[in-house]
């Protein structure tokens, strides 16, 4: 079976408090964007190897035991020991370490494919519980619609937000931002107005009010990111922001505009959706 897991952007990201468990209380709106990877799962042909993993496209770094797709399989196999041996192939197109949630999306796609292919009978609530064990934003990809997220990102409520009449431009500057470092630069705080309240307003108000808390310190450390955000506004974005803890940026444009990649950068990766 094959799935085409897509990425996400964050419409605002507030870090509200540090939790006793070491995580952070946050608020954001997750919104799905149709930049996609490909995941295929078939029966394995090696009876001694529970999982065989291969990949093409962008190079997937790290050891196999740290790969989220592999972890997703192993997580389900603990509760379903009769799960057959499988081969998983990932074609990677979504940039990694970019704040777009591509790895989380791939892992959740593996959970959903295994559930469907081998008739495990898991409902969405159960899939969310498994996904949340893999990563804070994995649970969102079970539903893959606009959701208001709180807690550490796993408490999800449907949110009315439709950007289908707009174009979204993604710019990946190829800058690695350590998530641990990014969190270390923050002073968590409650906000006067919630992200949900701001996103419910006309988009023209977002520029002044819809904030990603990570942006300030990351732009201070990497001015190129700030310059690219300004470029998105110069080219007509209604709203532009960094996604997650970076380093990718996105701009939301009126759909009637004729946009080309060269309009934004011939130095960095640009995707227009």
Question: Which residues are part of the catalytic machinery?
Answer: 8, 137
Non-local CB neighbours of 234 within 8 Å, separated by 6+ positions: none
Whole-number Å distance between alpha carbons of 204 and 271:
23
The answer to whether residues 27 and 16 touch, using CB atoms and an 8 Å cutoff, is yes
Q: Which helix (H) or strand (E) holds 125?
A: helix 124-134
Give me the residues paired with residue 51 across strands.
Answer: 86
Total residues belonging to the chain: 273
Exposed (0-12), middle (13-18) or buried (19+): which is 235, by Cβ within 10 Å?
Answer: middle
**Pair of tokens at residue 174:** 């190829």
**Is the bond leading into 247 cis (omega within 30 degrees of zero)?**
yes
Closest CA to 36 of 56, 6, 59: 6
């Amino acid at each position: 079976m094959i799935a085409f897991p897509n990425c996400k952007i964050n419409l605002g990201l507030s870090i509200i408090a540090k939790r006793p468990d070491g995580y952070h209380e946050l608020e954001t709106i997750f919104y799905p964007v149709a930049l996609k990877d490909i995941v295929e799962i078939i029966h394995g042909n090696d009876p001694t190897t529970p999982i065989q993993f291969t990949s093409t496209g962008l190079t997937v770094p790290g050891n196999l035991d740290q790969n989220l797709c592999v972890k997703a399989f192993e997580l389900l196999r603990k509760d379903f020991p009769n799960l057959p041996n499988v081969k998983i192939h990932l074609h990677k197109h979504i940039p990694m370490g970019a704040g777009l949630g591509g790895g989380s999306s791939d892992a959740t796609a593996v959970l959903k494919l295994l559930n469907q292919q081998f008739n495990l009978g898991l409902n969405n609530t159960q899939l969310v519980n498994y996904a949340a064990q893999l990563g804070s934003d994995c649970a969102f990809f079970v539903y893959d619609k606009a959701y208001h997220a709180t807690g550490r990102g796993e408490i999800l409520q449907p949110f009315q937000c439709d950007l289908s009449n707009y174009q979204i431009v993604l710019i990946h500057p190829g800058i690695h931002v350590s998530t641990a470092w990014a969190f270390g630069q923050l002073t968590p705080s409650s906000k006067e107005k919630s992200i949900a309240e701001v996103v419910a307003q006309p988009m023209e108000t977002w520029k002044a009010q819809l904030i990603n808390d990570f942006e300030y310190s990351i732009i201070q450390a990497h001015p190129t990111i700030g310059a690219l955000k300004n470029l998105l506004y110069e080219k007509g974005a209604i709203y532009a922001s960094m996604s997650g803890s970076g380093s990718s940026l996105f701009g939301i444009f009126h759909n009637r505009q004729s946009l080309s990649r060269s309009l934004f950068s011939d130095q960095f990766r640009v995707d227009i959706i």
